[in-house]
């Protein structure tokens, strides 16, 4: 028998489910622990995308509980628009099924693989199906389905389904059971914290075994749902153009205008002229050679870059700062949202932030937070273009030492938002090296580096001044005492001089002749929010500036003045009274204020 005949018998189709079952590491299911993280991530990606489409503020429950015997139940529940029963099997139990693959716009899910891969992996490790509950409208009941994937065919199998009552008016709940050695608590909390930073409009209620806690929203504005745009002529390949042309029944110039973004009448005519083709020719009738010329002309004709405002959804500088401040205590924080840019016809925007000091670890390498389309990237930091770009910045220029990453109490956040994120693998762990993207990241970081340098040099300068001032201050009381001795008077009060030298806020209360004067000087370099408290038997009814708030208890009047005091400015108030009691300033750190009560 001829060998080829024999070999032919072994050749057969491989279902995409078989393929990914065998190659589960490609989807981020390479270890049982990671499987749990990836599942939560895929479910949350879907929930956030769906809530954005429905313009709902996401309220998401995440629960991971050990059922015993190394099996963990993962539940993710959202208040999104829900999924109609007809679509539930394919969405959850068929790989390569979804709505976002063919759309040119920013979304977390792209491929229609993620959540069904989780279903595949759950049934692989425990043999158990996945339960999905979804409700699409308060007027309809909810549907509950038990689903599995037929691996050999990549088709969904509905094991049971029923209409049920459900408390949420709309939303989706998915429950999967995994075999795993651990609930991956630490990594999961990390993932949720980072997700919460770049989705400041979302609220996550978390239940991990016996603990429960919340990552709350800091913004109650739903970001606009990115709108799908048509492909840009620069991004289309000849093979795709051929398919598009074959499917059109329009003349060439109409075809170009209808099918591509940024192509108007003028551009269409230019492309036709440059390719030597008639604008009136039917696109579907063009032979391959003509399409080749058309394709060349599309790449060489000057066409404006795609509009990024509709199809992308950057977090914005303000919300990045809010998100980071919520989760980390920092002395310095700045963020940048770069203008939109383009690679291979795909729009993208880079956002970055740098945090410094505070409670960040002062030793070791900087913490790098990587994000793509509002999703944190937790693995393969070393293989990511973001890491490359961060390491290629010369941080020594900005006052940081560096060994690859900058060293010190530094946190760097980079977010790449794109209509098509160039991931290095389906597990979406790392961004591939695309020169245009790396350049934008570098520019954002350099801008932030300059701000950081300014902060660090000011801090160093003020630290130097403070050291000097401290040295001077330590001798002033001695000199004052000496002078007092010589002139035979009690030593003068030197705290004000100290205050000025030490760059503090000085609060002084003087009582004399039935009149009270309170004086506040801001010798610091910053504007200060001051809450001045004066508690005494005086009601300060005739105060030159009326208190913001007065209360009385047992004849003691608490008077509060609230105001902003610019650096170098002073505030003074006077009233009639007998003085005594106590004064203080709230809202200013103890080491920044000096209180001098001259009637004590």
Distance CA 262, CA 260 (A): 7
| CB proximity list for 46: less than 8 A, separation 6 or greater | 108, 109, 114, 115, 172
* Residue with smaller CB distance to its own copies, 156 or 449: 156
Measured from the CB of residue 386, what is the shortest distance to its own copies in angstroms? 14
* Residue with smaller CB distance to its own copies, 23 or 567: 23
* Residue with smaller CB distance to its own copies, 376 or 422: 422
Measured from the CB of residue 73, what is the shortest distance to its own copies in angstroms? 15
Please name which of 228, 229, 255, 257 lies closest in space to residue 242, comparing C-alpha atoms: 255
Measured from the CB of residue 349, what is the shortest distance to its own copies in angstroms? 21
User: Cβ(505)–Cβ(564) under 8 Å?
Assistant: no
Measured from the CB of residue 399, what is the shortest distance to its own copies in angstroms? 26
User: Cβ(393)–Cβ(445) under 8 Å?
Assistant: yes
* Residue with smaller CB distance to its own copies, 242 or 500: 242
Partners of 164 in beta bridges: 142
* Residue with smaller CB distance to its own copies, 11 or 591: 11
* Residue with smaller CB distance to its own copies, 292 or 477: 292
* Residue with smaller CB distance to its own copies, 85 or 579: 85
**Diameter of the chain by CA atoms?**
124
Pairing of strands 142-150, 341-343: unpaired
Measured from the CB of residue 408, what is the shortest distance to its own copies in angstroms? 23
Measured from the CB of residue 583, what is the shortest distance to its own copies in angstroms? 59
Residue listed under structure tokens 């398919």: 243
Buried b (16+ CB within 10 A) or exposed e, 75-90: bbbbbbbbbebeebbb
Render 411-425 in DSSP notation, one character per residue: EEEEEEEESS--BSS
φ, ψ for residue 161 (rounded to 5)? -150, 150
Measured from the CB of residue 420, what is the shortest distance to its own copies in angstroms? 8
Q: What is the DSSP secondary structure assignment for residue 5, as one 8-state letter?
A: H
CA distances from 454 to 355, 407, 461, 553 (A): 13, 18, 10, 49
3-state secondary structure of 253: helix
Distance CA 234, CA 416 (A): 20
Measured from the CB of residue 186, what is the shortest distance to its own copies in angstroms? 20
* Residue with smaller CB distance to its own copies, 111 or 531: 111
* Residue with smaller CB distance to its own copies, 402 or 495: 402
CA distances from 82 to 132, 144, 206, 268, 414 (A): 11, 12, 21, 41, 31
φ, ψ for residue 295 (rounded to 5)? -60, -45
Distance CA 458, CA 356 (A): 14
Distance CA 52, CA 44 (A): 12
Measured from the CB of residue 12, what is the shortest distance to its own copies in angstroms? 7
Task: Return the half-sphere exposure (C-beta side, CA atoms, 13 A cut-off) of residue 469.
Answer: 17
Measured from the CB of residue 69, what is the shortest distance to its own copies in angstroms? 8
Distance CA 419, CA 345 (A): 10
Measured from the CB of residue 18, what is the shortest distance to its own copies in angstroms? 7
Measured from the CB of residue 58, what is the shortest distance to its own copies in angstroms? 15
Measured from the CB of residue 22, what is the shortest distance to its own copies in angstroms? 7
Measured from the CB of residue 225, what is the shortest distance to its own copies in angstroms? 11
Render 18-77 in DSSP notation, one character per residue: HHHHHTGGGGT-SSHHHHHHHHHHHHHHHHHHHHHHHT---EEEEEEEEEETTEEEEEEE
* Residue with smaller CB distance to its own copies, 111 or 316: 111
* Residue with smaller CB distance to its own copies, 304 or 344: 344
Q: What is the DSSP secondary structure assignment for residue 359, as one 8-state letter?
A: T
Please name which of 99, 122, 135, 114 lies closest in space to residue 26, comparing C-alpha atoms: 114
* Residue with smaller CB distance to its own copies, 109 or 409: 109
Partners of 389 in beta bridges: none
Distance CA 93, CA 424 (A): 25
* Residue with smaller CB distance to its own copies, 367 or 381: 381
* Residue with smaller CB distance to its own copies, 87 or 278: 87
φ, ψ for residue 8 (rounded to 5)? -60, -30
Measured from the CB of residue 431, what is the shortest distance to its own copies in angstroms? 11
* Residue with smaller CB distance to its own copies, 244 or 330: 244
Please name which of 96, 69, 47 lies closest in space to residue 178, comparing C-alpha atoms: 69
């Amino acid at each position: 028998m001829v060998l080829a005949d024999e070999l032919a018998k072994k050749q057969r189709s491989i279902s995409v489910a078989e393929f990914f079952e065998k190659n589960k590491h490609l989807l981020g299911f390479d270890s049982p622990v990671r499987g749990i993280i990836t599942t939560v991530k895929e479910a949350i990606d879907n929930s956030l995308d769906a809530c954005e489409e429905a313009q709902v503020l996401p309220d998401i429950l995440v629960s991971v509980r050990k059922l015993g015997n190394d099996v963990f139940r993962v539940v993710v529940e959202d208040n999104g628009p829900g999924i109609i029963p007809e679509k539930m099997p394919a969405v959850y139990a068929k790989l390569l099924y979804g709505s976002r693959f063919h759309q040119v716009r920013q979304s977390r899910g792209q491929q229609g693989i993620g959540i069904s891969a989780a279903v595949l992996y759950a049934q692989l490790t425990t043999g158990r199906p996945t339960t999905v509950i979804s409700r699409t409208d308060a007027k309809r009941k909810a549907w509950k389905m038990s689903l599995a994937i037929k691996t050999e065919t990549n088709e969904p199998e509905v094991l049971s389904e029923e209409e049920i009552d459900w408390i949420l008016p709309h939303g989706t709940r998915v429950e999967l059971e995994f075999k795993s050695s651990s609930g991956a608590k630490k990594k999961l909390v990390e993932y949720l914290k980072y997700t919460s930073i770049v989705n400041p409009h979302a609220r996550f209620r978390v239940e991990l075994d016996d603990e429960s806690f919340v990552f709350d929203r800091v913004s109650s504005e739903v970001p606009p749902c990115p709108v799908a745009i048509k492909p840009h002529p620069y991004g289309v390949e000849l093979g795709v153009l051929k398919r598009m042309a074959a499917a059109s029944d329009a003349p060439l110039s109409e075809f170009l205008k209808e099918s591509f973004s940024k192509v108007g009448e003028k551009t269409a005519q230019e492309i036709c002229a440059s390719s030597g083709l008639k604008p009136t020719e039917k696109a579907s009738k063009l032979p391959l050679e003509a399409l080749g010329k058309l394709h060349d002309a599309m790449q060489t004709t000057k066409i404006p870059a795609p509009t990024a405002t509709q199809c992308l959804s950057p977090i914005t500088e303000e919300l990045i700062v809010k998100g980071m401040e919520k989760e980390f205590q920092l002395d310095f924080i700045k963020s940048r949202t770069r203008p939109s840019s383009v690679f291979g016809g795909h729009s993208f925007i880079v956002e970055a932030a740098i945090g410094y000091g505070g409670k960040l670890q002062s030793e070791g390498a900087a913490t790098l937070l990587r994000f793509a389309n509002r999703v944190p990237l937790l693995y393969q930091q070393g293989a990511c273009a973001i890491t490359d770009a961060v390491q290629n910045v010369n941080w020594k220029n900005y006052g940081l030492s560096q060994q690859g990453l900058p060293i010190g109490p530094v946190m760097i956040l980079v977010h790449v938002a794109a209509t098509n994120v160039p991931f290095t693998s389906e597990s979406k762990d790392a961004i591939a090296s695309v020169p245009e993207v790396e350049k934008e990241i570098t520019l954002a970081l350099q801008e932030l580096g300059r701000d950081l340098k300014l902060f660090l040099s000011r801090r160093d300068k003020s630290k130097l001044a403070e050291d000097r001032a401290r040295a001077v201050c330590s001798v002033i009381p001695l000199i004052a005492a000496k002078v007092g001795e010589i002139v035979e008077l009690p030593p003068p009060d030197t705290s004000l001089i100290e205050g000025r030298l030490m760059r503090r806020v000085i609060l002084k209360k003087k009582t004399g002749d039935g009149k009270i004067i309170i004086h506040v000087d801001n010798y610091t370099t910053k504007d200060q929010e001051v809450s001045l408290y004066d508690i005494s038997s005086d009601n300060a009814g005739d105060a030159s500036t009326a208190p913001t708030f007065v209360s009385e208890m047992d004849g003691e009047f608490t008077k509060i003045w609230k105001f902003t005091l610019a650096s170098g400015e002073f505030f003074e108030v006077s009233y009639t009274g007998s003085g005594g009691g106590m004064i203080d300033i709230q809202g200013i750190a103890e080491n920044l204020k000096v209180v001098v009560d001259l009637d004590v």
